[in-house]
Amino acid sequence: MPAPTLSLPAPVFYITDSVTVDDVVYYQILRARFVPTREEVLSFPMNGILIYRVNVRVGDFVSEGDVILELDRSSYLQELEEIIKDIEAARVGLRQLEETYALHLQRWSLTERPVDTIGYVRRREQYYYQIDVLTLRMESIEAELERRLLRASMDGYVAFIRSFNPGDLTVADQRIAEIADITEAVFMVSGDGATLLNVDDVVNITVQGELYYGVVVDPIEHGITADRSGYEAYIMIQGGHQYGFATGTTGSVQVIFDVAKEVLAVPTNSVTVYGNRAFVFVLEEELRVLRDIQVGLVGNSLTEVLTGVEEGELIVR
């Protein structure tokens, strides 16, 4: 029987990280979303009026007073046109009456022919009454026409506009449009994370891969009314309107709780804690050796090591 062949064990390769001198940071990431400083919801107070035309789309900028949506106004417009004609006709009749009366007065001074002043006054009062009644009706129609226009209540961007199909009618107090003031860049942190932020704190906020510096602001002082329930913190990026953030944009805020600068550090995920004991595995002569360490600040990615390893040693993951 031949002697067994000896073979060398296959080499073991470890993934390692060096013990370094670095800053150890303990922080928490909070989710933030872009909010307008002010939002206003637009609706009609009446039911059953035909939707005529929508004049804007989401993202459009509107000025206060711009017409967002129109209801059917055809019958009122026709009636208004007829009333305007009737008022003009009454005014023409009144002017002709006054001119005729003035002419009769001139003749009376020359011929002493009596003038029917009572008849003149009666007809003049009839014209005045007719004009007053028509004017009141015209003002009523103009008010009704205005009620059928949905106007922007402030300068801002259209954040929401309801979709309508031909023949759709109004539903009283239904949200039809929403105007948002986004001239300032404000991000809101809600929930328990908001309690970690205080007014005047300066924070780092990452939005769409870009890092910005923001300041936690008092919402009342800055007139922020959007989505307020008492469990939010608001972060304003100075000059942020130029970055083109829109409703729905999200960001992440890094809240730093503690920092240990220029200390001996190892990756946090390489440290094992068991009871009161903390240890790492150090690569010594290609062998993985357990090494007890004393830790300081435990950061998100690095942990401070007070004793047990030296700079440059290799830590096995």
pTM: 0.59
What's the pLDDT score for residue 238? 78
pLDDT in tens, the chain (317 residues): 566 665 556 667 889 999 999 999 999 999 999 888 788 899 999 999 999 999 999 888 899 999 999 999 999 999 999 999 999 999 999 999 988 888 888 777 667 677 788 888 899 999 999 999 999 999 999 999 999 999 999 888 888 899 999 999 999 999 999 998 877 788 999 888 888 898 999 888 999 889 998 899 988 888 777 555 667 899 998 776 677 777 778 999 988 889 999 999 999 999 999 988 999 999 998 889 999 999 999 999 999 999 999 999 999 98
Burial 100-137 (b: 16+ CB within 10 A, else e): ebeebeeeeeeeeeeeeeeebeebeeebeebbeebeee
* Residue 148 · residue 70 · CB < 8 Å: yes
Whole-angstrom Cα distance, residue 292 to residue 306? Answer: 11
Whole-angstrom Cα distance, residue 142 to residue 73? Answer: 10
What's the pLDDT score for residue 257? 87
